[in-house]
Amino acid sequence: MAKKIEVKKPPKLFKETQTIVAEIAQKLDGDFITYWISRNSRITGDDIIAFYEVFKNRNKKDILYLFLKSDGGSGESSLRIVNLLRKYYKKIIAFVPLDCASAATMLALGADTIKMGPLAYLSAIDTSITHDLSPIDVNHDLVSVSQNELSRVIKLWNENKVEKNKNPFSEIYNFIHPLVIGSVDRATSLSIKLTTEILSYHLKDKSKAEKISNSLNSDYPSHSYPITIHEAKKIGLNVEELDNIINDQLFQLNELYSEMAQLAYTDFDELNYHDNEILKIIEGVDVKLYYQKDKDWHYRTEEKRWIPLNDNSSWRKTIYKDNIIEETSFHIR
C-alpha cells in the first residue's frame, strides 16, 4: 500500500509571541498591536475586518503603538485601515524596525510619529499595477508596470530617437497594451491622492502634505528606494529613533513570526503539492489573528501554469480567555 503523505503545518507560537507582546505593552502608555506581513503576501481589504475584530470589544487607551512590517499592497486598503484606527485612537505611533515599503509606507504616514530602528526603511510609493492585459514573464505570470518605468522609456526614446516624427507609443503598444498604460496613469494620480488624504488625518498643513506626497510619488528613481530615517527627516516626516530595547524585542517578534510564516509545502508528486503557509499576523494582548493558506496546487502542463484546488485558506483567531487558549476560524467574505 502507498504510504500516506503527512501535510506539513507551520507552528502557531501563540504563547511565545504573547509573552513578548505583553512585555512591550507594559512599557507603553497606550495599546500595542502588531501588523506583520510575509514577503509572500500584501496589504488587502480583508485586513481591515481583522483589525476591527481585534479592536471592537477591547478597553482602548488614547494612544496606539503599531508595529508595522510589510512590503506593501493596496494603497486604498491602507487608507481604510488608517481611517479605522483613527476612529478608536487620538494618537498613533508607528514602530518600524525593518521594511515598511510601498502601501505600508502609506499606512505609516497615518501615524503622528514614526519611530525607526537602525535597519528600518520606508520606500517610494509610486504605483505599479498588474493588469489583466499586462505583459507575461518567462513563467507565464503577469508583470507589474509602473508609471516611472513608462516615463523613463519615453524619455530615453526622445533622447535617442532616429526618426524625428515617430511616436514612441506605436512601438510601446507592441509590448504593453494601451489599456495598461491608461490604468497606470490613473493609478499614479490615485497614489498621490491617497497619500495626501492619509497625511491629512494628523497633518493640518495641506501644502506640506501635498509636498510630502509628491516627493514620495515622483522624486525617487526606484520604487524600492530605501528611505532611511535620515532621508525621511529631509522629506518632512515626523520620525524619531526607536528605543533600542523595544527594537530588540520587535526583532524577537519578527523571528517568531518568520518561523510561523515558514514555507509549508507538501509535495505529493511533480505536478501536485499542498501549501499551508501563514501570510499575515495581527496581534495584541490576549488575541492573535493570522491568515493561513490551505490549498492544493496542480500544474496544468498544457497551459504551463499552476492552478489552485480545494482552497480552504482563511483567517484564524486565537484568544486567551479565562486561562484557556481558544482557536477558531474567522470567516471574511
Sign of CA dihedral 250, 252, 256, 262: positive
Determine the straight-line distance between the first and last CA of the chain, rounded to whole angstroms: 40
CA nearest neighbour of 240 among 94, 125, 119, 123 = 94
Grid coordinates belonging to 267: 509535495
Tell how far CA 172 is from the center of its chain. Answer: 31
Rounded to whole angstroms, the Cα distance separating 257 from 289 reads 12
Which has the higher per-residue pLDDT, 8 or 120?
Answer: 120
Q: In whole angstroms, what is the distance from residue 326 CA to residue 74 CA? A: 31
Q: Which residue has the cell 510630502?
A: 212
For residue 14, the model assigns a pLDDT of 93
Confidence of residue 161 (pLDDT cuts 50, 70, 90): low
- pLDDT given at position 187: 63
Query: Which residue, 228, 255, 284, is CA-closest to 100?
Result: 228
Question: Is pLDDT at 248 greater than 90 in this prediction?
Answer: yes
Asked whether residue 2 carries a pLDDT value surpassing 70, the answer given is no
* 312-328 per-position pLDDT tens digit: 989 999 988 878 888 88
CA angle 53, 57, 60 (to 5 degrees): 105
| Stretch 278-285: mean pLDDT | 94
d(CA 86, CA 324) in angstroms, rounded, equals 32
The confidence score (pLDDT) of residue 109 equals 94
pLDDT confidence band for 75 (50 / 70 / 90): confident
Checking if the pLDDT of 124 tops 50, the result is: yes
pLDDT of residue 20: 96
- Identify the three-state secondary structure at position 318: strand
Percent of residues, the chain, with pLDDT higher than 70: 92
What is the rounded CA–CA span in Å between residue 74 and residue 127? 10
pLDDT in tens, 25-61: 999 999 999 999 999 898 998 999 999 998 887 777 8
Mean pLDDT value of segment 126-145: 71
Average pLDDT over residues 144-160: 70
User: Position 227: which residue type?
Assistant: I
Identify the pLDDT of residue 163: 64
Confidence of residue 8 (pLDDT cuts 50, 70, 90): confident
Q: In this predicted model, what pLDDT tens digit does every residue of 205-244 receive, in sequence order?
A: 888 988 988 888 877 777 778 999 999 999 999 999 999 9
Give the least confident one: 95-104, 163-172, 174-183.
163-172
The DSSP element (H or E) to which 304 belongs, if any, is none
Which helix (H) or strand (E) covers residue 184, if one does? helix 178-199
Q: Quick one: pLDDT at residue 1?
A: 45
Residues in Cβ contact with 112 at an 8 Å cutoff, skipping those fewer than 6 apart: 91, 92, 93, 202, 238
User: What is the pTM for the complete model shown?
Assistant: 0.84
Q: Is the pLDDT of residue 150 over 90?
A: no
Residues 105, 109, 115, CA angle at the centre, nearest 5°?
Answer: 85
Q: Where are the beta strands (DSSP E) in 97-182?
A: 113-116, 122-123, 128-129, 145-146
Task: Give the model's pLDDT for residue 157.
Answer: 74
Cell of 101: 515599503
What local confidence, expressed as pLDDT, does residue 254 receive?
A: 96
The predicted structure's pLDDT at residue 188:
64
- What is the C-alpha radius of gyration for the chain, rounded to an integer number of angstroms? 22
- In whole angstroms, what is the distance from residue 142 CA to residue 64 CA? 38
What number does CATH give the domain 14-124+220-267+278-290+312-330? Answer: 3.90.226
pLDDT at residue 214, as a whole number? 85
Mean pLDDT, all residues of the chain: 86
Q: How far apart are CA 318 and CA 333, in angstroms?
A: 19
Of 111 and 174, more confident:
111
Backbone dihedral region for residue 27 (phi beyond 0: left; psi -120 to 50: alpha; all else: beta): alpha
Return the domain boundaries, the chain. 14-124+220-267+278-290+312-330, 128-184
Give how far Cα 333 sits from Cα of 50, 53, 329, 330, Å.
12, 14, 13, 10
DSSP string, 262-278: S--EEEEETTEEEE--E
CB hemisphere CA count around 129 (13 angstroms): 22
